[in-house]
């Protein structure tokens, strides 16, 4: 009896159209899943390729930075030493000024010879610096340039345009294309009108 019922159920399933649809649907699901797996694999490959490209780009940037730092270290490695060495020129200049202002030595042969020797040493130092791309800044009679000059004082001068450098207080230097130290300078300015001053003085006197 049970065997007959099982056989009849199998026959019903074979003849039932819904059974075929269920089988087809399951096959579709399997195909869709396999496609999803394949798409996911392609995406992973693309992600890996992108990461690899980024890594190579970063490595190239690091290499370029290293090369630039190496070049700068070679070209400007003596920057600090050069800046300190400028004190020699400053001290020579101060020594000259002290000797020139010494009344007891004024117009003496000893002073003349000493100043000559100091000038020779100064020229030798400038020559050594120039050979190593350390050059003095030519500033006198030039317009003030904040990139190379630092104004310390203003001096009245009706012969020069305002902002013209008419005094060099301390010599500036460059090393290759960089500023080693700025020139300390005095710049010209227009003289104040004397007429206005006299008028103001008169007005003040009248008020008193």
What is the number of domains present in the chain? 3
- Residue whose C-alpha is closest to residue 188's, from 169, 160, 168: 160
Q: What is the pLDDT along the chain (208 residues), one digit of tens a residue?
A: 544 544 444 544 455 555 555 545 555 555 555 554 556 777 778 888 888 888 878 888 877 777 766 666 556 667 778 888 888 888 888 888 898 888 888 888 888 899 999 999 989 988 988 888 889 999 998 999 999 999 999 999 888 889 999 999 999 999 888 899 999 999 998 887 765 555 556 566 666 5
For residue 87, give Cα distances in angstroms to 101, 104, 116, 135, 171. 21, 27, 20, 15, 11
> Do residue 160 and residue 205 come from a single domain?
yes
> Do residue 126 and residue 164 come from a single domain?
no
Round to the nearest angstrom and report the end-to-end CA distance of the chain: 143
CB-CB contact of 93 with 119 (8 Å): no
Among 76, 91, 111, where does a domain finish? 76
Among 28, 60, 76, where does a domain finish? 76
> Do residue 10 and residue 46 come from a single domain?
yes
Residues in Cβ contact with 187 at an 8 Å cutoff, skipping those fewer than 6 apart: 144, 151, 153, 154, 155, 162, 163, 164, 165, 166
> Do residue 103 and residue 157 come from a single domain?
no
pLDDT tens digits along 165-199: 999 999 999 988 889 999 999 999 888 776 555 55
Among 35, 61, 76, where does a domain finish? 76
Q: How far apart are CA 133 and CA 75, in angstroms?
A: 10
Domain that holds residue 48: 1-76
Can you give the pTM of this predicted structure? 0.55
């Amino acid at each position: 009896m049970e065997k007959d019922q099982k056989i009849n159920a199998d026959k019903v399933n074979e003849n039932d159209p819904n059974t075929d649809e269920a089988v087809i649907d399951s096959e579709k699901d399997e195909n869709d899943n396999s496609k999803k797996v394949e798409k996911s694999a392609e995406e992973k490959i693309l992600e890996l390729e992108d990461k690899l490209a980024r890594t190579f780009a970063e490595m190239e940037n690091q290499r370029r930075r290293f090369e630039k730092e190496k070049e700068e270290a070679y070209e400007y490695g003596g920057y600090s030493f050069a800046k300190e060495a400028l004190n020699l020129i400053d001290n020579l200049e101060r020594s000259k000024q002290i000797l020139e202002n010494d009344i007891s030595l004024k117009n003496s042969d000893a002073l003349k010879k000493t100043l000559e020797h100091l000038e020779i040493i100064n020229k030798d130092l400038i020559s050594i610096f120039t050979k190593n791309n350390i050059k003095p800044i030519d500033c006198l009679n030039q317009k003030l340039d904040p990139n190379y000059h630092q104004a310390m004082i203003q001096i009245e001068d009706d012969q020069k345009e305002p902002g013209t450098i008419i005094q060099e207080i301390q010599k500036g230097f460059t090393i290759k294309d960089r500023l080693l130290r700025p020139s300390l300078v005095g710049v010209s300015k227009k003289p104040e009108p004397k007429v206005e001053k006299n008028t103001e003085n008169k007005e003040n006197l009248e008020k008193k």
